[in-house]
Amino acid sequence: MTLKGYPGLSQDDVRIAAKGRVTIATAPQARLNAQHERLTGAAAPGTATRTYRPHDHCQDGGAPLCRGTIFSCDVGGLGNGGYFRHTLAASATWESMMGASTSRSHIFRAYPTPGLTGSLAAVLVVRTYGDDIQIRITNLTTGTSSTHTTSAAGTPAWQGAISDIPFTAGQENLFDIEIKGDLGEQLDLLGLCVYEDTATHPSSNGTTTYSGL
Amino acid sequence: MATTAKANKLALVSPRDAITEAWAQQSAQNANGQYEATWDAAAPGASAQTFAGHDHTPQGGGGPIHRGCLWSACTVSSDLIDLSFTSANQAIELVKSGEAIDTMQIHPSPGLRADALLTGWICYYARNSDRFVLQMADSPTIYDVELPVSDGEKYNWLRFEIPVAYSGRWKARNLFIVCGSYDSSNAPVISLQALQIDELPNVIDRRGTGFVETPAAAGQTIIRSFGTLDDALYAADEWLDSYTLRELYGSINGLCEGIEDARAPKASSQVCRGHDHDAGNYGGRAIARGGCYTASLQGATYLYRIAYNGTSYSGYRAWDLDDGADRRSAASIGMALFWVGPGLASSGNPPTTAPYLTARLYVEWDAGAEIPTLNFRALNIGLSQYSAVTSVAATSSHSAWISVDKIPCDDDAINEIQFEVEMTGTTTVQNIDLIAFAVYEVPGVGARTNTSLPVLATGGVS
């Protein structure tokens, strides 16, 4: 059966008193068969093979979808703070948590979903030794940084959030975690989750939701 | 009067064929079926929903989608793990020596081709041998990735790929490092600081042809509407009129835009917004989006410990008990923090039906001569609701992954999960360690709704 395709379904073809051509019957059926395959990923009813690729909310069509977590790490209890620790070597200067003793190019990498826009978000748990310390996430691929959040000093563990991490969709992005405070102050990163949420969904060209159509 | 949703076989209508009411009725029924599968809502005018919304699983319909990060672990100031080799060509698992723990637990998307490749990134420092190889341990064919020896540089990043087929569902994923030459006076060592496994768009099957958008046609009136396509419109011997066709055409055009999030063929602009699997926003069934949070130091040490040490406790204890007054649980900060996909708002304490989350935990204890029974559960701190309980009954020692299922979730806030342990049978068992864990929205399970309904991909053919 070859009755699959995307012919236009124009109101002009079904005007009152207009002559009916066979396409007024074949066109909607072709569209329904093609849409069945694009929607479900299965061959249209009665056909042996699938002609159209299913939508995947990415490169094969459909609205781009956020995927949730794109990077996370956690070192567990406070006793493991030394696994993800940085002691500031200067005051009032942004320093990478990688420190200077490694040739590591970045702390983590992530692949934001193609088609998304806006900013990534993060939630993090830290422990600060000393005064308040500012924390931000820098995207080394774009060369831009998030705004910073400031961890409260003197608390056993502190939870914060960042909502404006820059990214480029559809490719690997390299990230650094930077902190700023006073010389000698120390910060342990205990947990971090970087995620795509619905705020990264691009605006649709459509203006009406299905329930209002 | 009835509005029926079906997936009929729409046969070719040839010139000079008689137009019967059947072709139009079947087309309308198919349009209704696609409406329900797209939006996860009853077709306009229908009293009940016939088909479940698609969820991009083989069971729920829709093509597989890539789900992003499956596993990640990272440190900067101490190594996740240091592997020291004691002979040439020795293979050591990427975990602490002597541990039975598997490297990771991952859950690739359902429906992917066996030869689809997951993408991995490893940050390492390898020295004192002429070569190092990252090796898959459980593959029928040895799968090797050369790890260049670090040449004066510490901690290189390397991208590698892993076939999906060898990963399985909730199957341990074992990665080994094999060294080359060996010199006892300067033994080979590899240090690991980061490891990540991702499911990227390249895993998606590209068979068939895609929808090629047709150019807009000037002067065409492309209507988009979701009116009622009632069976009565197509009753036997009724005249096929312009209104009936217009309703059908409008529905199909609207569905096209809803599926594709692109303008309908020949239309100059898009009217209907594409579905986004968010019932509270632009429609469609909630789908599981894969990994929420992973935590591991590759077995180098435990993440959390409950040290009973002869102390008598009753009831559940937060797993960070060993951290004393400074522990996260004392500040109501979760051991896992993440955002879940829209629509994954559970109900019930614990939830009994989807949606909910699932966690895999690597747990160890050795109680010597005692044989305790341990119960495990997860608390969603924000919801103050618990998961189902998983019990490991009457065993003196344990070193394996367990599942904690039906974890409550909230799609309107950051979810903070706290793992808890209860012991019965003895109160003197030694350390109960949480070595690693992963929290997942499990595709095809944790987000399923309308499980009693058939899916359009397989149902309703006549």
Question: Is the confidence at residue B380, as pLDDT, over 50?
Answer: yes
Mean pLDDT of B374-393: 96
Q: Which residues of A111-124 are buried (b: 16+ CB within 10 A; e: fewer)?
A: bbbebbebbbbbbb
Most confidently predicted of A97-101, B79-83, B312-316:
B79-83
Mean pLDDT of B437-448: 84
Instruction: Give the integer Cα–Cα distance in Å for B93 and B134.
Output: 10
Q: pLDDT class for A19, splitting at 50, 70, 90? A: confident
Distance from CA of B264 to the nearest CA of A (A): 8
| Per-residue model confidence (pLDDT) at position A47 | 85
Q: Which of A122-131, B118-127, B311-320 has the lowest mean pLDDT?
A: B311-320
Q: Which residue has the higher pLDDT, B211 or A195?
A: A195
Question: Is the confidence at residue B7, as pLDDT, over 90?
Answer: no
| Per-residue model confidence (pLDDT) at position B461 | 39
Most confidently predicted of A46-50, A98-102, A130-134:
A130-134
Residue A126: its H or E element: strand A120-129
Say if the Cβ atoms of B73 and A73 lie within 8 Å: yes
User: What residues in A contact B9, CB-CB < 8 Å?
Assistant: 45-46
Query: Is B458 an interface residue toward A (CB < 8 Å)?
Result: yes
Q: pLDDT class for B460, splitting at 50, 70, 90? A: very low
Instruction: Give the integer Cα–Cα distance in Å for A129 and B191.
Output: 27
Among candidates A8, A32, A189 on the partner chain, residue whose Cβ is nearest the Cβ of B217: A8
Instruction: Give the integer Cα–Cα distance in Å for B47 and B62.
Output: 25
Among candidates B19, B121, B260 on the partner chain, residue whose Cβ is nearest the Cβ of A61: B260
pLDDT in tens, B231-284: 887 776 667 788 888 899 999 999 999 999 999 998 999 999 999 999 888 999
pLDDT in tens, B167-208: 565 555 578 899 999 999 999 999 999 999 999 998 887 655
Percent of chain B whose pLDDT exceeds 70: 87
| Per-residue model confidence (pLDDT) at position B171 | 53
Say if the Cβ atoms of B65 and A12 lie within 8 Å: no
Instruction: Give the integer Cα–Cα distance in Å for A138 and B198.
Output: 21
**Look-up: residue for tokens 């999906």?**
B164
User: What residues in A contact B18, CB-CB < 8 Å?
Assistant: none
Q: pLDDT class for B110, splitting at 50, 70, 90? A: confident
Say if the Cβ atoms of A206 and B289 lie within 8 Å: no
pLDDT in tens, B325-344: 788 998 899 999 999 999 99
| Per-residue model confidence (pLDDT) at position B462 | 34
| Per-residue model confidence (pLDDT) at position B63 | 86
Q: pLDDT class for A118, splitting at 50, 70, 90? A: very high
Say if the Cβ atoms of B333 and A44 lie within 8 Å: no
Say if the Cβ atoms of B341 and A66 lie within 8 Å: yes
Distance from CA of B9 to the nearest CA of A (A): 5
pLDDT in tens, B132-158: 999 875 555 667 899 999 887 789 999
